[in-house]
Amino acid sequence: MHGHGSPRPGQPPAEPHPAAPRPAPSAPPATLGGPSAAGTVPGPGAVPGPRTAAGVCHGTLGELYQGPLRAGGAPDIALVSFPVDRHSWAYFTPGAGRPGALPPGEKAARAVRLFLDHFGLRLPPGHWRTHSELRVGVGMASSTADIVATLRCLFRLFGLPYDQGVVTGVLAAIERADSVFLDEFALHLSARHQVVRTLGTDIGFHTAFVTEPGTVDTSAVTAPLLRHYARRASEYERCLADLLKGFESADPAAVARAATTSATLSQQVLPKRTFERVLAHRERFGADGVFVAHTGSLIGYLFAHRPHAEAKSELSAFFHSLGHQCSFAQGGYG
């Protein structure tokens, strides 16, 4: 489930991260600028001259699983996000510009304020630049990737060691999020910002996918989703068990089958217009499975092996006949 309710843009449960970062106690603002007159190198928290700092974060192609997970209480919505090799970037260049300039986007700007408050820092004069390959509001985790890229840029700008707890704390203060802050698959509770189980980097897929029109308001569908999950609890439990076994054995075909089950279950509550036809043609194209953005607009095929050029042409013609432009991307790791 994605944090962008509106367009813009692993097994016992671990202890959840703090709901939001706490300001560092009485931390004075860092001294900004390059080496001092005495020739010493500035420590963490000082901006070392005008060099541009950058942060990058990948997005997702929806999820391989979205469903219920009981984690110390009532069932919560759990995800295994599907990372994609498409990214969001944030750049900050100290120099000309007004002090305290914020990046574009309300959520990224709020992330900057929370980061600075947490560490007791001030942003030097300079300017932000951003770029993204992720479409907004369709299930690519665009807003979460923007936030994480911005935070990674700030850690580098101030010479601070990267702190995952700060990142998840900032996310918790802003939105329900995908696990794009990790460089591996994970079973993740999106509302609690809690990683239940990491699933490694052995699985990867090639994909062919399309984006259906429209967006989904995440907050508006949470209650219907939870009711659906309660009605289909045993099916979701089997689906998740099969998915986790697939990751444990590094078996992409098993993971793809479980992803197809998750997508099929999702069709009962948040249907995709093209799902039945996409599913019906899976074997024709030799796809290992079907994936969706459960609360987004993406739907596509999973291939354990790269489709050849002729297959890509056939896939493109098929999706074109459904009224959509096909895209190809590598998802996961492997």
Amino acid identity for residue 130 in this structure: T
Among residues 161, 92, 156, the alpha carbon closest in space to that of 124 is found at 92
Segment 36-83, tens digit of pLDDT: 222 333 456 665 566 899 999 999 999 999 999 976 567 789 999 999
Segment 198-251, tens digit of pLDDT: 999 999 999 999 999 987 777 778 888 989 999 999 999 999 999 999 999 999
Mean predicted confidence (pLDDT) in 108-124: 96
Segment 157-187, tens digit of pLDDT: 999 999 999 999 999 999 988 999 999 999 9
Beta strands in the chain (DSSP E): 53-70, 75-94, 126-132, 185-189, 194-200, 204-211, 289-292, 298-303, 327-332
Judge whether 238 and 331 are in contact, CB under 8 Å.
no
7: confidence class by pLDDT, cuts 50, 70, 90? very low
pLDDT for residue 49: 60
